[in-house]
Structures are given as structure tokens and as C-alpha cells.
Structure 1
């Protein structure tokens, strides 16, 4: 009954503002608007319920994940230990490769320097002039 009284008050206000009788179409439009509002509220409630269900599901998964992280199994501990051991081993192997590369460069530079010094010495012995980096003639 309360809704009917509000509708009547709204209808009377429309009459007083416009000065004309809103008529049957205005009442039909008002009823349609109220129906649309009810449907929209119902859809909103359904969507809110769906969102809450998904939130609960996510919370359940988060709880399971936390329990798995908190639970320590021997296999998991072994995997973690192997992983912790393999990281320094990989770093050591990488450092060894870089050091071997560095030694290779130093060796090549030293051989080149010795070869140039030998050429210079040989050139002095033969009395010919050599240019650095060229073979004596």
C-alpha cells in the first residue's frame, strides 16, 4: 500500500508542476521505470553474490597455498638444498669460464709480445729494420 501512496504523490506532483494531466502513458512509463529498477537491483545482487563466491574460492586457494608453503616435506627440503647448492656451483663454473677466457687473452697477448720482441731481436742481429707487427724480410 505504501508504494501506491508514493505513486499517487508522484503523480500529483507531476500534475502540479506541469499543470497538465500526465495521463496514462506517464503512469505506464513510471511503472516501467520501477520495473527496470527492480530488475537492475536483482542483477546487481546476483553479480555481487557471484563476486563474493569467487572471493571465497580465491581465499580457499590462498589458504591451501599457504599451508603448502608452511608444510615442510623431506623431498621439498632436499630440492631446496640442491637448489641452494647448485646456485653457487653454477656461479663458480661461470667464474671459471670467465677466468679461463681471461687467461686465454693474456696468453695470446704475451705470445704476440714475445713474437714481436723476437722479431726485433732477430732484426738487430741481421741488421735489418723491422716494423712492429711485420715479419722481417
Structure 2
């Protein structure tokens, strides 16, 4: 059985919905589930950014269009979005550091530890990502 599953697809096909439904089914069957996903934020029918949402229900800004950097926050710009690194680290990294995962001590600066955790069967992954079509870009 596969331990890590990576799903790709165009925007709006249901990748995030699948994550939400799968986590509900696993939780209801008694499996320990933790994680996060990103969710589009719209205002007046227009996408203005994304939030990071944990499976335990915590939510915070991941990015916003044209936002000005906030004082005391670590942020970077990716295209039209300002990414709130501080918010991401506060919400998503504790999920990856979950104490129920033995020996898992992750930090945003050290992806080697994430690689180790994945290869040593400390947890399984269900990952979704937008499909990139080179012909359209």
C-alpha cells in the first residue's frame, strides 16, 4: 500500500475537497490525522490570496495580493502575492512537529529532517498540488 500520495489537477477540480473528506473519514475511523491545506480567499468574486488552514480548524493568512509587509513579520513576495512566512510557520510547522510523531523535529530552515521523517516511515503524506501546463504559460 502506498504511504505517500501526490495528487495533481487543475484549479477547482476538488483537490482540497478530497483532502478535507479523506481526513474526515480517517478521523471517524479512529486514525490520528493532522495536517494543513491552503484555501483561496476571494473578495467581490476576485481572488485576493490564500489562507493556511489546519485540520484542527486553525486558520491564518498565507498570502495576499499586493499586501504591504507588516512590521515584525517575515514576508516575501511571490509574483503578485506577499507571503506571510511567520503565519505559515506558526500554523503549519507545529503540525509537522506533532509530538505523536516520534523523533520529528522539523524547522522551515531544515528540509533534510522532513526528508528523513518521510523516508523512515514516521508518517504518511497526502499532498495535492496544482497541475502546471507549460503550453499555457
TM-score, scaled to structure 1: 0.19
TM-score, scaled to structure 2: 0.19
Higher normalized helix content (fraction of residues): 1
- Choose between structure 1 and 2 for higher RCO, CA contacts under 8 A separated by at least 6 residues: 2
Higher normalized strand content (fraction of residues): 2
* Greater gyration radius: 1
